A = this chain, B = another copy of it.
């Protein structure tokens, strides 16, 4: 059921709801990194990452549903390839905070004594 029609008790959003949720899982991020090296069949991915085949397939399904990977048949195999376009929004969203992690903290909140103190304790 589409989330916008759902009005019952809410739980954590599906991993397939968007890219942010999809990449929240470390192993899925590893898969994406591996795929930068080119297309690979499921079994190979599973092997390189030391995970079972069903596990790899499940993660790949999530990635496919949010559009981060594409698959094509290659004989008996199914090759998965990267489609990183969906990562761009995440990159841009975080980029919107760039000046905040570059600016010195005391300038950001120059009047905040507590933060200055916390910084000295580092």
Q: Which residues of A contact B (CB under 8 A)?
A: 12-13, 15, 20-21, 23-26, 29, 32-33, 36, 39, 70, 72, 81-85, 87-88, 90-91, 93-98, 100-101, 104-105, 108-109, 112, 114-115, 118
Which residue of chain B has its CB nearest to the CB of A20? B24
Which of B70, B95, B98, B118 interacts with A115 by CB under 8 Å?
Answer: B70
Q: How many copies does the complex hold?
A: 2
**Secondary structure call for the A interface:** helix
Contact A70 B24 (CB under 8 A): no
Contact A36 B115 (CB under 8 A): no
Contact A39 B109 (CB under 8 A): yes
Contact B70 A118 (CB under 8 A): yes
